Structures are given as structure tokens and as C-alpha cells.
Amino acid sequence: MTVNTLPSADIDLEVLLAHRETIADGVVRLAFRRPGGELLPPWAPGAHVDLLLGPGLVRQYSLCGDPGDRSVLEVAVLREHSGRGGSEFVHDVLRTGDRLRIRGPRNNFPLVSADRYLFLAGGIGITPFVPMIAAADESGAEWELYYGGRTRSSMAFAEDLRQKYGDRVTLWPQDRSGLLDVHGILGTAFEDTAVYCCGPEPLLAVAEQACAQLPGLGLHLERFSPKEITGPSTGFDVELARSGLTLAVPDDRSILEVAEDAGVPVLSSCREGTCGTCETPVLAGVPDHRDSLLTADERAANDTMMICVSRACGRKLVLDL
Ligand code: FES
């Protein structure tokens, strides 16, 4: 069985907001089209796009529509009262007919081929699972979704998913059932299940902890807020092989900032190690990985690093930049 994944793209294009609709308490669904009706870039379940909402206001949102429909890109956005302004801009300022730029789609959370999937969603973390579940279901795989949220009315897509897939979907509103029993759910999962988890940090942390004790399960998760960075930051040198520059990175600056100051063109978006836009190949040296998205195997391989947050273990790194 093959579940299609497409390579990431870094396309930057103008779209217009064709439709917006409130789909749960504090959640709006947005549908973007090209102003001239052209096709949008292809994407696969798990992909996200950057919305360029204004100067310094770039936010990543998972695509939640149908990858087979290239005329529209859909995202769902939760209003986050303690956020940094992106979701409030979407809710309070962005209106139907407005034009803005988007970047991507980029996929750091692809659906691997598996015979059996278990999806664990917390709150707005349901969004990447909507197209993933459709793909898993169409592939003929066994799958289950456990979906936790504060209250039933705050849980976007809950009714649609229940209606479409019935008992494969377990809704777990916290005000009635408490927090998702992650250990209990994973404890009864079959070996070789691909476990996908998306939601708030405490849910991701429990899933990581539970899967560490259950080696038969393969855990895939996506973070939209960074893991806490621990450990001191010290200065080092970075050689940018393609640019022919060697730069000093002081302890209070990132490689990304130092490269930008030197006039080296580098793509970036979240600047906190969660989106993958600044991923850069490593030619020599050992990175001190501080991002929130590379897997343990990818970190150990040391082939690439996120230069917005990651640093060097030694005195020098050489990057393909
Ligand atoms: S800019 Fe997002 S990971 Fe570096």
C-alpha cells in the first residue's frame, strides 16, 4: 500500500480569501484561491502553508482540505488569546476578498505507508488529520482517531468526522471525559501501528513518553510551538561554502541572523525551529540541534540543520549556503 507524499515546495504566490466560515468556538476555516483562478501548487496530507499576514507576521497553518482539488487551499485557525497576534489578525482583520501572499506548501509531517494508523489529536491539532484520515481510509488501512478538545463545541470537524467515519472516531471533550488517556489508548494499540499526534505540547510530551515505552509503535508528531531550549549558547564560526564566507556567530545570535546581516539570501519563516523553512545542509562539523521537528534519526545523521535555532557542538560548522 502506498500513501502519496509529494516533495516540499517553496513557492511564494498571491492568493485571495474566497471564503471564511466559523466552524467551531473560536475556529474559522479559510479558503484561498488564485486571483485569476489558476491552479494552486500540489500538496499531500500533513503539509502546511505560511500565511504572510504582514511585516514580521508569518504564520504556519496545516492544510485541511482535499489535496485532489487544486483550485483551493483551506486552513482552519484557532483564535489564541495568549498568542503573538497571528490568529487575532486572521480573526479580526482578514476579510473575504482580501489578497495576501502564501509560501509553501511544505510537508514536515508526511503520512508514511502503514497497514494501521492511530491518530491522536488535541484541539486545533485535528487539522492535518482531516486529509490524512481521508488518505488512510482510501488506502484501505485500519485506522482510529482519538480527538480531545476543551468542549464538544470547540472541536472543529468533530461532527463531520463522526458522520463520515462512525465509530472509528472517538471524541473526547475534556469537560465531560477529562484529558485524553494517551497511555491507555497506546497501551492497547497493535504493534507496527503508525501513531500520529498533533496538538498542544502536554499531549505531544505524553505521547512521546508513552511511545518510548512501546517500541513497536512508530510515533510521528508535529509541533507548532517550539520545545523549550535548554543548555548554554556559546559562540562558534560558520563557513558558508557556496558564499565563500566565514562568519563568527556570537552566543546571543543565530546563524540565520548572522548570515542575513552578511547579505546571504536565506529563506526563513517561523524563526523558532518549528517550520523547516531554513533547513540547511551540513557539510562538516556537528550541529547542536535545537529545533522541534527533526526526528532522532535525522538529528543523528547530522545532514541538515535548522539555522534559526540550532548551533554548533564544536568550534566550527561548514554549511552548504
Ligand atoms: S525558520 Fe522555521 S525552522 Fe527555521
Q: Where are the domains of the chain?
A: 12-106, 116-222, 236-319
The answer to whether the beta carbons of residues 28 and 139 sit under 8 Å apart is no
Q: Which fold has domain 116-222?
A: Rossmann fold (3.40.50)
| CATH pick for 236-319 out of 3.90.79.10, 3.10.20.30, 3.40.50.300, 3.40.50.2000 | 3.10.20.30
Nearest ligand 1 atom, CA 256:
4
257 lines ligand 1 (CB under 6 A): no
Q: Is 268 in the pocket of ligand 1 (CB under 6 A)?
A: yes
C-alpha to C-alpha distance for 35 and 182, rounded to whole angstroms: 44
Q: How far apart are the CA of 29 and the centre of ligand 1, in A?
A: 25
Ligand 1 and 278: CB distance under 6 A:
yes
Partnered with residue 288 across adjacent β-strands are 311
pLDDT tens string, the chain, 321 residues long: the values are 333 333 344 688 999 999 999 999 999 999 999 999 999 999 999 999 999 998 878 899 999 999 999 999 999 999 988 777 889 999 999 999 999 999 989 998 999 999 999 999 999 999 999 999 999 999 999 999 999 999 999 999 999 999 999 999 999 999 999 999 999 999 998 889 999 999 998 999 999 999 988 888 889 998 877 777 777 789 999 999 999 999 999 999 999 999 999 999 888 888 889 888 899 999 999 999 999 888 888 889 999 999 999 999 999 999 999
User: At the top level of CATH, which class does the domain 12-106 belong to?
Assistant: mainly beta
Spatial neighbors of 262 by CB under 8 A, at least 6 apart, are 240, 243, 245, 247
